[in-house]
Amino acid sequence: MASSSSSLRIGVVGYGHLGQYLVERILKDGAAHGLSLAFVWNRNTDKLKGLVPDELILGDLSSFAERRCHVIVEVCHPHIVKEFGLHFLSHSHFMVGSPSALSDSDLNLKLRQAAQQYGRTLYVPSGALWGGQDIQRLNDSGALKALFIRMSKHPSCFRLTGDVLSDWTEGEGRRVLFRGSVAELCPLAPNNVNTMAAAAVAAGSLGFTGVQGEIVSDTVLSDYHVVEVEVTGPNGFSVRTVRRNPAKLGAVTGSATYNSFWNSLLGESCSHSKYCIHFPEVKLHDVKTNQINCNLWCRLYRSWKKILNVFTKKTNMILHGLKLQSIQFYAFNVHK
């Protein structure tokens, strides 16, 4: 598939339900809007045959640099972030679709340092997290005292390490599987708690060890996942939200999360706007010395906006010293 030399090249790592969704949208709508698919990688390349053009299938992920991507989107597994994240950032901007990987404080720091070293941007989509911008504002003001997230799903929707849920039976009802820090939860359920990981990123003052989470198996939840967020501030202030995300039996990701992730990709592409999210722990780069990157993101923003105008939940982000548009989206920009 030929692509215009002026198009923005996107690499997709992972071809599960979410990866397939993103690839199909880019292949269907991208060319008319200045976007092209640079490559698709999956552990099992046979799954790609007949669905992805042969020339876009990347057999060896270590050769990704040959495809000269502007943005690499990981929608695979935290192990890929750990193994390839630093390499990705040495060549392109990187969207981490498995932010549970960032619970590893050493990896978290190294990725930030790599983004700074290579002048790249590290992005974390909000996924199924609701109200992230409000958590961010409370955190920025120094008023965030506590954050608790409960995720409840049908047992068939969990992908846990060990034998925590190996004995479930239909009709057993509700069972609390684990309650503790998000740092402890991420290794236990790396594919199921990315929403919690995004919350830990937003609540930077608490971090992965300070944000508390709970995962619950409930056989009643055959049609949706439930995400409950409880935020505590000063002087008795508190907010509790409940989100029901439609999902089929066995689905790790709820259907509404696909749109959220797509909107994060839209938000990543940046334009001038008052709707921004800014992580205070991240030092911003002067826009005057980073005009090329800014122009790149502005072009990507205009392209995605034409494709998906309809899902517009706007939040706050400041990136490259400019105010930029984001939709349910968080980003690290760790330039010097």
SS3 assignment for 145-178: CEEEEEEEECHHHCCCCCCCCCCCCCCCCEEEEE
- Residue 224, Cβ neighbours under 10 Å: how many? 20
Prediction pTM value: 0.76
pLDDT band for position 169 (cuts 50, 70, 90): confident
The residue-averaged pLDDT of 303-313 equals 45
For the structural domain made of 8-125+278-302, what CATH number should be given? 3.40.50.720
Which of 126, 261, 254 shows the shortest CA–CA distance to 202?
126
pLDDT of residue 3: 53
Higher pLDDT, 134 or 256: 134
The SS3 of residue 191 is coil
Domain positions in the chain are 8-125+278-302, 145-253
Q: What is the pLDDT of residue 251?
A: 81
Domain 145-253: CATH superfamily, name plus number? Dihydrodipicolinate Reductase; domain 2 (3.30.360.10)
- Residue among 175, 158, 149 at smallest CA distance from 227: 149
Residue 13 predicted with pLDDT over 90: yes
The pLDDT-based confidence of 254 (bands split at 50, 70, 90) is confident
* Six-digit token string for 210: 């300070």
Here the tokens at position 267 are: 């938000």
Residue range 97-147, pLDDT digits in tens: 999 999 999 999 999 899 999 999 888 887 778 788 889 889 999 999 999
Question: Could you report the per-residue pLDDT of 188-201, keeping only the tens digit for each?
Answer: 998 888 889 989 98
Tell me the one-letter amino acid at 280: P
| pLDDT value of residue 62 | 96
